[in-house]
Amino acid sequence: MRHLTRTALIAAALASPLAARAAAPKPVYIHMNGANMFLENPVAVRPGQKVIFVNEDTGGHTIIGYRASSGKVSSRFDGAVAGTKGAGSPVHTYTISFPHQGIVHYYCSVHAVLAKEPGGRTVAKVRPGVHGFGDPMAGTIIVTTDPKLLADNPKTASEKILPGYFGG
């Protein structure tokens, strides 16, 4: 009888909104600076887990989702982050989460362009006139429940501010 009561209490606690909040996974952070790249790429997140883009650059960036199959840009995944003055100054962030498992592509429309490959797939490429950066400013988010993928994120993805990463 005593055991049953304890089990019932635990079940009630697990069902409460407070317990659900406590169990929510920490956000995954993706950082930008003057190198015009998304530092953590790719990252894996659970459905519903927050992805927070952090701008440590003096200049601004956009973060816009697109479909590789059609080239269509997303009206929901449509972010922009202003620059910061540098270390010690406030940083701007953009937060989003994804309800369903799958692969999400995004790019910065300031520093990259979308282009159709001969095979029909749309990819991000370096924007003409933006010099000095090898890779286009773009990235991929894997929305998954696979524990191996989720455990494989770079260490920096768990920190909001990277103290040595400011620059622009």
Residues that bind Cu ion (CB under 5 A): 61, 108, 110-111, 137
What whole-number distance in Å separates Cα of residue 75 and Cα of residue 61? 17
Cis check for the bond before 25: say yes or no (omega within 30 of 0).
Answer: no
Q: How far is the CB of 5 from Cu ion (least distance, A)?
A: 57
Instruction: Dig out the tokens for 31 from the structure.
Output: 């950082």
For residue 102, give the nearest of 44, 37, 57 by alpha carbon. Answer: 44
Least separation in angstroms between residue 166's CB and Cu ion is: 16
Q: Which residue has the tokens 């490959």?
A: 117
Asked if residue 35 lies in contact with residue 140, where contact means CB atoms within 8 angstroms, the answer is no
Q: How far is the CB of 105 from Cu ion (least distance, A)?
A: 15
Shortest Cβ 3–Cu ion spacing (Å): 58
Q: How far apart are CA 37 and CA 61, in angstroms?
A: 10
Kindly tell me which of 49 and 135 has the beta carbon lying closer to Cu ion. Answer: 135
By C-beta, is 110 or 150 nearer to Cu ion? 110
CA dihedral 31, 36, 39, 41 (to 10 degrees): 110
Beta bridge partners of 114: 124
CA–CA distance, 11 with 155 (Å, rounded to integer): 34
Output 27 or 60, the one with its CB closest to Cu ion. 60
Cβ 57 to Cu ion shortest distance, Å: 8
In the bound state with Cu ion, the residue whose beta carbon lies nearer, of 28 and 138, is 138
| Closer Cβ to Cu ion, 149 or 168, answer by number | 168
